[in-house]
Amino acid sequence: MCLKDKALAVRENAYVPYSNFKVGASLVAENGETFVGCNVENVAYPEGTCAEAGAIAAMVAAGQTKLTEVYVVADAPVPVSPCGGCRQKLIEFGSGEVVITMATLDGTEKKMTLAELMPGAFTEEHLENT
């Protein structure tokens, strides 16, 4: 199953009783394994989990810490990009060259690198002399 199909499938498991806005994400780790995540809302609204964060957590739980590709899909009129927090999480585990594909259910896709999505990202280089 390709990244797109995995993201579409896991999107169906999203727990979104408040927004009804389902998001699915899939990513490939450096070793070739694929991990998925969906958004999970909470009545204490800011305590939910984004789909990208769920996929990253699954990757790290499996012992992987580098991602090489990401696919995100949502039911929206235009492709939805990861939120700011997820952008920072993605850059933590991927290089600027990693491609993020953002898609709608009708198949519209937009591709960007992490560097394009998160210019001026705060990285470990900022902490080298601390």
**Calpha distance 74→16 (Å, rounded):** 12
Kindly list the distances between the CA atom of residue 16 and the CA atoms of 13, 20, 45, 70, in Å, as whole numbers in the listed order: 9, 5, 11, 22
How high is the pLDDT of residue 124?
A: 76
Confidence (pTM): 0.93
Helix %, strand %, coil % of the chain (to 5): 30, 25, 40
Q: Which of 52, 97, 125, 128 is catalytic?
A: 52
Q: Which residue has the tokens 């408040």?
A: 18
How high is the pLDDT of residue 126?
A: 73
Tokens for 54?
A: 């769920």
Kindly list the distances between the CA atom of residue 114 and the CA atoms of 9, 38, 41, 130, in Å, as whole numbers in the listed order: 24, 20, 25, 25
Quickly name the fold that domain 3-121 has: Cytidine Deaminase; domain 2 (3.40.140)
How high is the pLDDT of residue 31?
A: 97
92 is in an annotated binding site: no
The answer to whether residue 52 is catalytic is yes
16 is in an annotated binding site: no
86 is in an annotated binding site: yes
Sketch the domain layout of the chain as residue ranges.
3-121
Q: What is the chain's pLDDT, residue by residue, as a tens digit (130 residues)?
A: 899 999 999 999 999 999 999 999 999 999 999 999 999 999 998 899 999 999 999 999 999 999 999 999 999 999 999 999 999 999 999 999 999 999 999 999 999 999 999 988 777 777 876 6
